[in-house]
Amino acid sequence: MYEDLRRQVLALDPSTVGLVAAPEDSGVWGVLFELGMPGGSASLVAFKDGTTSLYTSRGYGIIGGGQHDHIVTATRNLISMVARKLDLFRPEESTSPPEPEQVVVRALTHTGTRVAAVPDADLVDGTHLLSDVFFAGHEVIAHLRSIDETTAGENPPA
């Protein structure tokens, strides 16, 4: 299921979900922020309309982040940062998930997907040119996890 969701995001025509380019637009309509971990990966899906979800290759997921103002704000901040640094992204050549200990950020633009892949160790000290994107992506994930933890007690397993 995870691979199907990733494939759908990467193949999405943004106009089919109302994400059309505006003259003042940077061209970035979404970000796929992916973290490689031992035994799998996590993918944060963030669209400029506030749609925000998190999926892992191990079957965990959080959807509906766009229903929370603080998540929409964090999502738009992430997209804005990616748009400002778009010159650091190269045209997409592969849609492979990240390797362990690698961060792959895909800028979903109206002219195609652009990608930046960086070892996470290079980002955590804050000196890499994409460190702020890394921290912004983690902020969105933290907000998503907080709403997941808040709602986990509302529907306990039977």
Kindly state the average pLDDT of the residues 50-78: 92
Confidence of residue 109 (pLDDT cuts 50, 70, 90): very high
What is the structure's pLDDT at 53? Answer: 94
What is the structure's pLDDT at 156? Answer: 36
Entry pTM: 0.88
What is the structure's pLDDT at 66? Answer: 86
Secondary structure (H, E, C), the chain = CHHHHHHHHHHCCHHHHCCCCCCCCCCEEEEEEEEEECCEEEEEEEECCCCEEEEECCCCEECCHHHCHHHHHHHHHHHHHHHHCHHHCEECCCCCCCCCCEEEEEEEECCEEEEEEEEHHHHCCCCCCCHHHHHHHHHHHHHHHHHHHHHHCCCCCC
Per domain, the residue ranges of the chain are: 2-151
